[in-house]
Amino acid sequence: MLAETWLRSLIWTDYRLGVIFTVILPLILLLWALAQKAEVIMRLLTIYWRVSSLLAISVYLLIPAFPVGFVSGIMARILIPISLWFWVDINEEIADRSTGALTLSFNAWRWAVSIFCVIGAVSTLPFLQCAISKEAVSSSFCRAFLEPPLLFKEYFHPNSQAGFLGFLGTVGLIFYVGCLIYFVFFKLGKQGRSAIS
């Protein structure tokens, strides 16, 4: 019972920190970059939002406890740091920017969210067992991981069926994977590690 309480506490802490690091802070930074017309930071944040949309898709997949949601959530945490550090041209432009409050704040957030995502990906690996069988999903271990997505549903979709929201998540995942495949096999081969807007 004590272990279950600790587990639930850690899961809720992870989700709360996730909202801060992956939604609130990058949104503030994007508005700040828009106000200062910092194009290179806006470009990288645009790439970040495209990649991090997999987190939102994962929440919708986890509302009806679709097993793929456990996998996509971990993949999102792996792809986010890659998307923030992969681009040679953007990294050079950010390094060449004059040191100011926006640049320092952006770089601090970039390091913080990367560390958060790596730690989160490693710590949620045990939940991959929830994607394997229906018996695992119905265990208290896996059900604890589904509590935050269900609360999200209560707040934002109180009158929607869980299955319908899962369907939206599935459509989003198919579109996301299609875009990722197109990028990796067509755009990346032509552009290399230069950022593509």
How would you label 67-93 residue by residue, b for 16+ Cβ within 10 Å and e otherwise?
A: bbbbbbbbbbbebbbebbebbeebbeb
Q: pTM to 2 decimals?
A: 0.92
pLDDT at 19: 97
Give residue-wise pLDDT tens across range 104-162.
999 999 999 999 999 999 999 999 999 988 788 888 889 999 999 999 999 999 999 99
pLDDT at 133: 80
Confidence of residue 4 (pLDDT cuts 50, 70, 90): confident
Confidence of residue 186 (pLDDT cuts 50, 70, 90): confident
The answer to whether residue 1 scores a pLDDT higher than 90 is: no
Rounded Cα gap, residues 152 and 145, in angstroms? 13
Rounded Cα gap, residues 75 and 56, in angstroms? 12
Confidence of residue 196 (pLDDT cuts 50, 70, 90): low
- Comparing CA positions, the residue from 104, 57, 110 lying closest to residue 87 is 110
Give me the residue label for tokens 């109180």: 158
The answer to whether residue 185 scores a pLDDT higher than 90 is: no
Q: Pick the more confident residue, 164 or 140.
A: 164
Give residue-wise pLDDT tens across range 45-101.
999 999 999 999 999 999 999 999 999 999 999 999 999 999 999 999 999 887 899
Rounded Cα gap, residues 143 and 136, in angstroms? 9
